[in-house]
Structure 1
């Protein structure tokens, strides 16, 4: 390996060891990753080519192996390593929050829900059901697709809450777009479901929107009925 290349990689590794990925450009993140699969070649051109092809780091990580391998320099090992990253993150988040069986704060709820919804590509509405002392009973996916106000949708929410004998719930859905800001439809369904569940003596603590690494809490913004 050329001495200059090894020096560049050593500096990247040292920066990561000292500060994590703070201050890294997207192509440098890919360089750091690709170096493990392509140890004896300058991977900077490959990293830049991947970003040019897929337009963002997230799109590179989400790309299928067959599409990644169309980029010059990306072989089966590099494609497999790139494809492993988002799946590893999902597994990490689920494992990290598995011991958390009591939800006492918005950050805890966001962390728990992000592990389930943060990487989802389709919009889903979920119900996080809690028992005494806010212990987690279950997280149930109620509906796939855009949240709406159909007659069936509230019935499914009520059925899930009663089935699990929840004393409180947190409403949750994801925005695959990455923008966590609620729509007017989100606000309307929050008011409607809160009214129905409260009439059954089931408290509604929050409605949380997960948008990748971003989130929006109705409770934190004073929007819970």
Structure 2
């Protein structure tokens, strides 16, 4: 009797050449805000990752999760599956605060530390974690020295 198992395929298909470079938190915020659904940014939290190549050029934006008014679940196993599948060497974490409060919560700080620690083992750089509010203002963990 022959055992049958699922075939696993891992693919990454680049449709657009990476052309936007990230030089500072404002660059990252601009790209993230441009790619955020303005109809829901003030309604519920979402968590996204900005995927970068070795030259800090943007490969893409991936929406990892969508939650409720005050939080969203971040599964770091799925986060790193996306990072590895896209062959990214650096990432910028991002989520929105519908309340327009720019201050990171203790939970925000904890998940950032956890992701950064895991990334170290995979030689992936976590360059920043950005909190965006509905009017486009942002808070950068890197700029504020807490990354």
TM-score scaled by length of structure 1: 0.52
Query: Whole-Å Cα distance in 1 between the matches of residues 27 and 137 of structure 2?
Result: 14
The 5 A counterparts of 1:1-16 are none
Among 74, 89, 104, which residue is 1:182 paired with?
Answer: 104
Alpha-carbon contact 1:123-1:175 (below 8 Å) kept = yes
Q: Tell which deviates more after alignment, 169-178 or 117-126.
A: 117-126
Matched, 1:173 2:92: no
Structure 2 stretches lacking a partner, 5+ long: 1-17
Given candidates 96, 103, 114, the residue that maps to 2:22 is 103
Instruction: Name the structure, 1 or 2, with higher relative contact order (CA <8 Å, separation 6+).
Output: 2
Q: Which residue of 1 aligns with 2:5?
A: none
Match of 1:131 in 2: 53
Structure with greater proportional helix content = 1
Q: Distance between the aligned counterparts of 1:169 and 1:100, measured in 2?
A: 16
SS at match of 1:170: strand
Moved over 3 A (4+): none
Q: For the Cα contact (< 8 Å) 1:117–1:210, is it kept in 2? A: no
Match of 1:115 in 2: 34
Determine whether 1:197 maps to 2:122: no
Flag structure 1 segments of 5+ consecutive residues without an equivalent: 1-98
Aligned to 2:7: none
RMSD after superposition:
1.6
Q: Is the 8 A contact 1:127 1:172 kept in 2?
A: yes
TM normalised by structure 2 equals 0.78
Query: Residues 139-178 of structure 1 correspond to what in structure 2 (within 5 A)?
Result: 139-145=61-67, 146-148=71-73, 153-178=75-100
Report which of the two has the higher share of strand: 2
